[in-house]
Amino acid sequence: MLLEIPDVLTPDEVGTMRRALEQADWLDGKVTAGAQSAKAKRNEQLSETHPLAERFGQRILEALAGNAVFMSAALPQRIYPPLFNRYAPGHDFGYHVDNAIRPINGTRERVRTDVSATLFLADPDSYDGGELVVRGAFGTHAVKLPAGSLLLYPGTSIHRVEPVTRGVRLASFFWVQSVVREDARREMLLDMDVAIQRLTQTGGDADALVQLTGVYHNLLRQWAEV
């Protein structure tokens, strides 16, 4: 499943983050790359312990908790604290696959990366290149979203970031451990949940809605790992 979620952050929130991040000290992005990814990774990253990373990361988590589409699509059990990266001209990230398990810095917790997420923070007109290219069962897609919008895609996907040739690409990225591990099952549950919501809004047959809602929850009960 490849899903775009618009307006996770407001324009004012994005502007505040962007202005602060433009003044921050950035590290070589290889600090969080695995052995395979490090060979393909050319970007900069904010330290996980940087005050801005912690403050803005918490705001993103709050926004996600209140976003019905994200909650329905990702079915989150645990979310890796959002990280932030920066691509200037000449930066790119070749094809790679995200690590299956990521330890959370400073804790004993680990996150299984069922769902990968990129939250775009730069206006797409402010930079050239920098498309996120995701390859999976759904085909190959190059994505460049408006600032404040989020892309969700399976953690199993091979993906890359195209070279930036002008301007600066700013983004937050993180991973979700879902209560439903398998992407196809999450997509089926999302489709069913969307159908239930639409039928509810349009005054669909009450008995049929109860039956469909029951099927949704029985499937979730069967597939969930909690």
Instruction: Summarize the annotated binding site as residue ranges.
Output: 96, 98, 159, 169
DSSP secondary structure letter of residue 11: H
What does the alpha-carbon distance between residue 89 and residue 72 come to, in Å, rounded to a whole number? 36
Nearest alpha-carbon partner for 41 in 179, 189, 220, 163: 163
Smallest CA-to-CA distance from 3 within 74, 64, 98 is with 74
Binding positions for 2-oxoglutarate are 169
Q: What is the dihedral of CA 163, 139, 152, 74, to 10 degrees?
A: -160
Task: Extract the annotated binding site for Fe cation.
Answer: 96, 98, 159
Comparing CA positions, the residue from 189, 68, 70, 185 lying closest to residue 119 is 70
Dist CA 97 CA 164 (whole Å): 20
